[in-house]
Homo-oligomer: A and B are copies of this chain.
Amino acid sequence: MSGRTGRRPGQSTTRDEIVAAARESFAKRGYDGTSLRAVAASAGVDPALVRRFFGSKEGLLVAALTATLSPGERLAEVMSHDLDSLGEQIIGHVLSVWEKPASRDVLIGMIRSACTNARAARLLRDFFAGQVLARLASALDDDEALLRASLVGSQIVGLAFYRYVLKVEPLASASAETLRAIFGPILQRSLTGPIDLPKRKKSG
């Protein structure tokens, strides 16, 4: 068990162990079925330590999501490329996460949790809005940047739902290569293509 995730030598391996246990629990048992106490037991530490590191189950979920998606690093990498290849970069990164069963299971667990638990849905929404969509939008020089980022988010969630939850063919068993070829241009268009909104009232 020890050192399974050990990416940052010298920095709290215990924390990493707890996050690994949390990811596993969220993946297997969802948000409702996960408790701070059980995660502590599975990581072999005292619940008080988990509480000290993460505050609450909500904190654990955010830590598990962050460890799974590394939104900061990933988006920095994605956004280091040309704006014209953003769609391709994003679907490439998304698929690289999904291709790892451990990460995929965490994400499916999160989708499932959001379906059944309003608090999990809110956490997931805040995580995506703050950690993913806002950063992605900041890369776009566009009045509708946030709408475009959300559009991309909805398309990715839709694909995940179709492929992994509903398992609708042919998307369920399409190769990563095929998905990349299809979704690269779709996402690119959503990000930088023409968008023709009805006459807007600038509200909010």
Decide: A162 and B177 in contact? CB cutoff 8 A: no
A115 touches B125 (CB 8 A): no
Shortest beta-carbon distance from A117 to chain B in Å: 10
Within 8 A of B (CB), among A166-199: 166-171, 174-175, 177-178, 181-182, 185-186, 189-190, 194-198
A114 to B198, CA, bound (A): 34
In the bound assembly, the distance between CA atoms of A116 and B31 in angstroms comes to 12
Any B CB within 8 A of the CB of A63: no
A155 and B158 contact, Cβ closer than 8 Å, known pairs A115-B116, A186-B189: yes
Question: How many copies of this chain are found per oligomer?
Answer: 2
Query: A161 contacts which chain B residues (CB < 8 A)?
Result: 111, 154, 157-158, 161
A18 at the interface (CB under 8 A from B): no
Contact between chains at A198 and B181 (CB < 8 Å): yes
Given contacts A115-B116, A171-B147, contact A124 B159 (CB under 8 A): no
Contacts of A189 in B (CB 8 A): 186, 189
Among residues of B, the one whose C-beta sits closest to the C-beta of A201 is: B175
Q: Which residue in B111, B168, B169, B178 is a CB contact (below 8 Å) of A115?
A: B111
Bound together, the chains give a CA A164 to CA B149 distance in angstroms of: 17
Interface, chain A (partner B; CB < 8 A): 111-112, 114-116, 121, 124-125, 128-129, 133, 146-147, 150-151, 153-159, 161-163, 165-171, 174-175, 177-178, 181-182, 185-186, 189-190, 194-198
| A-B residue pairs in contact (CB < 8 Å), sample of 15 | A114-B165, A115-B115, A115-B165, A128-B168, A147-B174, A147-B182, A150-B171, A153-B162, A154-B163, A155-B155, A161-B161, A181-B197, A186-B186, A186-B189, A189-B189
